[in-house]
Amino acid sequence: MAYPLGLKLYLLAHRGDAAPDAPPPRPEGRLVWLHAPDADAARPLAELARRIMDEPGYAVMITGPSGTALPDGAVLVPPPAEGAVKPFLDHWKPDLAVFSDGELRPALLGEASSRGVPMMLVDARAPVLPHSRDAWWPGLTRALLSRFAHILTLDEASARAFRRWGAPADVVKIAGRMEEGTRPLPCTEAERAELARLIATRPVWLAAGLTAAEEEIVIAAHRSALRLSHRLLLIVVPEDPERATGLAEHLEAEGFTVARRAFDEEPDAEAEVYVADNPAEYGLWYRLAPICFLGGTFSGGAVRDPMEAASLGSAILHGPKPGPYGGAISRLAAAKATLPVAQARVLGDALGDLMSPDRVAWLAQAAWGVASDGTEVTDRVLALVERMMDE
């Protein structure tokens, strides 16, 4: 495919970048390349990667932010600089490319297209060039959008944005958001049943991934809520497991009756706080606690993915700092499936509002609906991937 003037000028201006360090080996099989511009876009792509790799003979390479959780066997690498796309594509030789969100990397898209790599865009919001000044190249955005076989947008407003920037009308389709299809975290059923027997009918809330900066906030909230419900139990899992012992000692010094998971102590009728320290047991705590506070949302950002709690029926409380889970929290908030707390000093009041079983059940049901929604979009994308590979 011939390059239009704007793309030719862009490529001339961005040539000469150094090639990256030696990449990992290319996986065997037919390689699907997924690109995520940020962590929020990477999570549903990771689920798509798992689904693709369930197909015999398929492999996945993802370009995206470091730290993205991937299924076993998938390869994560940083995207190449615009002047180093040829060695990147020489090495990986992708059979298909799936880009997310709307970020358009001109050199990367142009070179992949020239090599005949089929490309599609999913979870598309609006076309975005990495640097706003690049939009001045004549016809650049229109030329890039014409390279995609399918552009699946989030909604009608997104579809209009792509058509306005020159995407072919028959290529743009409204599909909705691809979701990661959160898998409920596991737990040992016998252990859950025994702890549920000990807790019985007591109200319970969980502080998941509690940061050191938020300990006093949660302590004050628990003390306040105990005045309304004297049998209330707090299960707390600190962000840093090494902090569990110090936190338990601090809680005892504050006058609370504390049971420690690490010492095989049980949350009996006298315990007011149960301190756990094993991150592998979150599936157990979400099942036992009808209310979950997302640790980190009053400090640097949520420590745990809110969809973990949502998929297991725990109503979610959170502060104003979502951090890396901004997209997930926004989707939950749009469905009125969380209780946001603007200021730390009123966390206890918000917790008191959730002492009503009906209120908790409504929030939990709405959150579960968000956590389980959108998987049909992933199914549609997977079907398109398979069809395009066959073609």
Q: In 223-271, which ranges are E strands?
A: 233-238, 258-260
Nearest CA to 108 out of 121, 122, 126, 125 is that of: 121
Can you tell me which residue has the tokens 């049980």? 266
Quote the DSSP letter at residue 102. Answer: T
Same domain, 137 and 247: no
Give residue 172's pLDDT. 96
Confidence at 159, pLDDT banded by 50, 70, 90: very high
Q: At what angle do helices 85-92 and 106-114 cross, to 10 degrees?
A: 50
Whether the pTM exceeds 0.95: the reply is no
Helices (H) and strands (E) in the chain, counts: 15, 14
Give residue 141's pLDDT. 85
**Number of independent structural domains in the chain:** 2
Same domain, 213 and 357: yes
Give residue 326's pLDDT. 87
Residue 215 φ/ψ, nearest 5 degrees: -60, -45
The CATH number for 275's domain is 3.40.50.2000
Confidence at 181, pLDDT banded by 50, 70, 90: low
Same domain, 106 and 246: no
Q: What is the mean pLDDT of the chain?
A: 88
Same domain, 17 and 162: yes
Q: What angle do CA 330, 333, 339 make, to 5 degrees?
A: 130
Same domain, 148 and 222: no
Each residue of 62-89: pLDDT tens digit?
A: 998 887 778 888 999 998 887 788 999 9
Give residue 47's pLDDT. 86
Secondary structure (H, E, C), 54-70:
CCCCEEEEEECCCCCCC
Each residue of 46-63: pLDDT tens digit?
A: 889 999 999 899 999 999
Same domain, 124 and 250: no
| CA separation for the pair 345, 368 (Å, rounded) | 28
> Six-digit token pair at 225?
């809520």
Length of the chain: 391
Give residue 16's pLDDT. 53
Is the model's pLDDT at 290 over the cut of 50? yes
Residue 120 φ/ψ, nearest 5 degrees: -140, 155
Can you tell me which residue has the tokens 């990367």? 108
Question: In terms of residue numbers, what domain contains 69?
Answer: 5-181+374-390
Same domain, 227 and 355: yes
What are the residues whose beta carbons fall under 8 Å from the beta carbon of 216, sequence distance 6 or more?
A: none
Same domain, 149 and 259: no
State the CB neighbour count (10 A cutoff) for residue 12: 9
Same domain, 138 and 279: no
Beta partners for residue 121, in sequence order: 99, 151
Same domain, 242 and 253: yes
Q: At what angle do helices 375-390 and 39-53 cross, to 10 degrees?
A: 60
Each residue of 210-227: pLDDT tens digit?
A: 999 999 999 999 999 999
Same domain, 124 and 217: no
Confidence at 292, pLDDT banded by 50, 70, 90: very high
Same domain, 145 and 244: no
| CA separation for the pair 261, 263 (Å, rounded) | 5
